[in-house]
Amino acid sequence: MSNPSIQEHEWEDGELVIGLVFPTGVNYREVINPLKDRLKLFDYVAEEINISGDVIPELSSVKPYNSELERISNLQDAGNSARERSKANSILAAGAVSSIGANRLSARKRKEIRSRKDARKRVAYIVKSLKRPEEVALLRAVYGHGFYLIGIHQDEAERVSYLKERAQVSRDEAQAAIDRDSDEKDSDHGQRLTDTFHLSDFFLRVGQESSALERDVWRLLDIVFAYPHMTPCFDEYAMFMAYSASLRSADLSRQVGAVIAQEHDLIATGANDAPKYGGGHYWAKGYSLPKEPLDEAGGRDYVRGYDSNKRELLKLLRQIEDNLISGNDGAELSAWKDEVTATFDALSEKLRASQKKKNPDLEATLESSRQKYIDDSVETLRKRVAAGLKASPLGDITEYGRVVHAEMDALLCCSRINVSAAGATMYCTTFPCHNCAKHIVSAGIKRVVYIEPYEKSRALQLNDDTIAKGLSEKVGKVSFEPFIGVGPRRFFDLYSMKLGSGRNIKRKNDTGDALHWDADNVEQKWDMGSAQLKIQMLPVSYLENEENIGSQYKKTRNAMKLEVENADQRKESSEEESSGKKEKGSGKEVSRKKKGTSGEKGSRKTGNSKKGVLKEGRKATASRKGQRRRKR
């Protein structure tokens, strides 16, 4: 073992797992078909894992259906039921994992692989479709870098039209199906597409020309398979910078970042955090004992220890509860208590009338229960009011927060450095709130690109005269567009030549010629059929890696020890042999001094004696060697 490390090239033809997340009404085949075609060029076999068709029926019974909308609704019900009964919101993803394992077992039976633990060579599994963050988390935990999530976007109007035509339903029915898929707030185990979509590694758009979508799919796979000359487009770069800006935020709720660009130049950045005197936000200054960030006293919210918006909102809701229940003068509560008391007294009279004679025990029970009934009724009323307020849009208020939103911070950055934002594009990690949106319009921003939706935002409703959501060009309105391309999650790993996870990227050969797949020179060619994934999915756990590395290390260590011992033995033998030759030479000189036959005889005896010494030396060396081996 020349290099004691786990080399990713040991699994050059690794498996690939691709998850798809898309809203109801998207024609996902427009993505899957070119995806499978392109994978063929990379000599990869694509196998589909259909959660609605393969997994859900194994866990829950799906009611019969007579229409496309009924089919969608019944599958959603069955999926919700499976999550609820299993008490695991990731259960459907677990079913997909099981299906992939079963496919591998079938491959072993076909003798494609030797063991179930072996990975199949050049196989891609396409899992459709994921609806909850827990499902994504499970697949990432199992497959690590080998799992990629693709979010497929399509404008809502196009999805409604697609459903109307395919399912033959009204616009309202199609919209209801789309809304349910987006977020079932009334169910802990329902659909959560809104919370899942922004977790994607890649974002694609259905609805554009098929050739353009096909190019986007091809580009995606070329990046995954480490085509050496693939670099980010500006939207990808700018969104990654917005994401990087968000990481400086210490907000207690979420991290949001934004950048503003003019003609492919970044002119401002922003993040959501508390403002500091003199402009901008607080920056961390390092660490002090005992392991607490060194920050301005009373500055950021975590230093103060609470979220001011949440605290004020709870006060407001409690005040509204009190006013609704008791009123300013207590008249409403008094009337409510009178009504409850009258109801209790009427029930008490019925109970008394049912008794043939006066029952002291009943009277005692009624007397002790009267006040408790009134108090419980008031508390029930309070809980109902509280639940109603919680479900209302009042909970969306951000009025009392101390933080400056990332979009506003970016706009204020422009003002601090005397740069105009007119005609610029803003990239933000989250859809702007309605408060930021009106300032974005007023600042002259022409285009806004975002990844994560923000349900609290009323930007489109309040500014429908100046804001248009979607990719279509609309004169006189600011375009709020969903991000398309390589997402910030995998940006660094996929575009870095050497610093990211996975293999290093080589862009030229030894003579300096660029590597291309269309080069005439075979040495310059980037062969798609043998192209390797930029980031391999290693078919081992860290425990197996430890065992493999430990085994390799011990073998190498023992070989190195044996090499040293052999060298020592050779050195000893050489020294002993050299010593023997000297002694033999000395004996010859003595024999020359002697005359006649006796001198020659003495010389022969000396020579035999030296041979005996060498023989004994070799025996001693062999003995020491045996002792060392026994010690090992």
Is the bond leading into 64 cis (omega within 30 degrees of zero)? Answer: no
Q: Please tell me the number of Cα atoms within 13 Å of 330 on its side-chain side.
A: 3
255 occurs within a structural domain: no
463 and 572 assigned to the same domain: no
Q: What is the pLDDT of residue 614?
A: 46
132-141, 312-321, 515-524, 537-546, range with greatest mean pLDDT: 132-141
Q: What is the CATH number of the domain that holds 57?
A: 3.40.50.300
386 occurs within a structural domain: yes
Q: What is the pLDDT of residue 410?
A: 98
Crossing angle of helices 68-86/91-109, nearest 10°? 90
Q: What is the pLDDT of residue 610?
A: 46
Q: Which of 154-168, 179-193, 363-377 is the least confident region?
A: 363-377
382 and 419 assigned to the same domain: no
The yes-or-no verdict on residue 554 having pLDDT over 50 is yes
Q: What is the pLDDT of residue 473?
A: 54
Give the pLDDT mean for 122-132. Answer: 93
Share of the chain above pLDDT 70, in %: 81
Give the pLDDT mean for 251-278. Answer: 95
586 occurs within a structural domain: yes
Q: What is the pLDDT of residue 245?
A: 97
The yes-or-no verdict on residue 375 having pLDDT over 80 is no
553 occurs within a structural domain: no
571 and 593 assigned to the same domain: yes
Q: What is the pLDDT of residue 389?
A: 73
461 and 367 assigned to the same domain: no
The yes-or-no verdict on residue 172 having pLDDT over 50 is yes
Summarised one tens digit per residue, pLDDT across range 482-511 is: 999 999 999 999 999 888 887 888 888 888
Smallest CA-to-CA distance from 205 within 192, 214, 193 is with 214
79-83, 296-300, 571-575, range with greatest mean pLDDT: 79-83
Band (208; pLDDT cuts 50, 70, 90): confident
Q: What is the rounded CA–CA span in Å between residue 400 and residue 361?
A: 56
Q: Which of 355-359, 422-426, 572-576, 614-618 is the least confident region?
A: 614-618
Q: Which domain holds residue 63?
A: 18-197
271 and 386 assigned to the same domain: no
What is the average pLDDT score of the chain? 82
Q: What is the rounded CA–CA span in Å between residue 75 and residue 294?
A: 52
Give the pLDDT mean for 289-316. Answer: 83
Give the pLDDT mean for 73-80. Answer: 91
- The dihedrals phi and psi of 65, each to the nearest 5 degrees, come to -140, 155
- Domain edge (last residue) among 438, 462, 483: 483
Q: What is the pLDDT of residue 11?
A: 55
Q: Which of 251-265, 370-384, 613-627 is the least confident region?
A: 613-627
Residue 442 tokens read as 């007023």
Number of domains in the chain: 4
Q: Which of 89-93, 186-190, 594-598 is the least confident region?
A: 594-598
213 occurs within a structural domain: no
Residues 6+ apart with CB under 8 A from 489: 199, 200, 201
User: Whose structure tokens read 């000893």?
Assistant: 572
316 occurs within a structural domain: yes
Cβ(150)–Cβ(31) under 8 Å? yes
Q: What is the pLDDT of residue 502?
A: 79
293 occurs within a structural domain: no
Band (9; pLDDT cuts 50, 70, 90): very low
Q: Which residue has the higher pLDDT, 431 or 347?
A: 431
What Rg, from alpha-carbon coordinates, does the chain have?
38
User: Whose structure tokens read 């997994």?
Assistant: 55
Give the pLDDT mean for 137-160. Answer: 92
34 and 148 assigned to the same domain: yes
- Other CB atoms within a 10 A radius of the CB of residue 568 amount to 14
Amino acid at residue number 500:
G
390 and 407 assigned to the same domain: no
Cβ(90)–Cβ(135) under 8 Å? yes
Residues 6+ apart with CB under 8 A from 443: 411, 414, 421, 422
The yes-or-no verdict on residue 351 having pLDDT over 50 is yes
Q: What is the rounded CA–CA span in Å between residue 261 and residue 249?
A: 21
Q: What is the pLDDT of residue 484?
A: 95
Give the pLDDT mean for 259-277. Answer: 96
Cβ(56)–Cβ(129) under 8 Å? no
- Domain edge (last residue) among 396, 426, 441: 396
Residue 570 tokens read as 């050779």
Exposed, middle or buried, 397 (CB in 10 Å: 0-12/13-18/19+)?
middle
Band (603; pLDDT cuts 50, 70, 90): very low
319 and 386 assigned to the same domain: yes
**Concatenated DSSP letters of 92-125:** HHHHHHHHHHHHHHHHHHTTSSSSTTSPPTTEEE
Residues 6+ apart with CB under 8 A from 246: 255, 256, 257, 271, 272, 406, 429
Give the pLDDT mean for 568-582. Answer: 81
Give the pLDDT mean for 302-322. Answer: 85
Q: What is the rounded CA–CA span in Å between residue 419 and residue 262?
A: 10
CA pseudo-torsion sign 178, 179, 181, 182: positive
Q: Which of 160-164, 404-408, 528-532 is the least confident region?
A: 528-532
The yes-or-no verdict on residue 526 having pLDDT over 70 is no
Amino acid at residue number 542:
Y
Summarised one tens digit per residue, pLDDT across range 466-485 is: 999 875 555 789 999 999 99
- Domain edge (last residue) among 197, 230, 250: 197
Band (522; pLDDT cuts 50, 70, 90): very low
Q: Which residue has the higher pLDDT, 10 or 358?
A: 358
Q: What is the pLDDT of residue 630?
A: 47
Q: What is the rounded CA–CA span in Å between residue 419 and residue 353?
A: 85
Smallest CA-to-CA distance from 307 within 257, 282, 272 is with 272
Band (588; pLDDT cuts 50, 70, 90): low
Q: What is the pLDDT of residue 582?
A: 66
Cβ(11)–Cβ(538) under 8 Å? yes
Q: What is the CATH number of the domain that holds 433?
A: 3.40.140.10
Helix (H, G, I), strand (E, B) or coil at 495: helix
Smallest CA-to-CA distance from 135 within 98, 81, 100, 89 is with 89
Q: Which of 100-104, 130-134, 381-385 is the least confident region?
A: 381-385
499 occurs within a structural domain: no
The yes-or-no verdict on residue 366 having pLDDT over 90 is no
Q: Which residue has the higher pLDDT, 54 or 632?
A: 54
410 and 389 assigned to the same domain: no
Give the pLDDT mean for 435-451. Answer: 96
Give the pLDDT mean for 221-243. Answer: 94
Q: What is the pLDDT of residue 34?
A: 95
Q: What is the pLDDT of residue 632?
A: 42
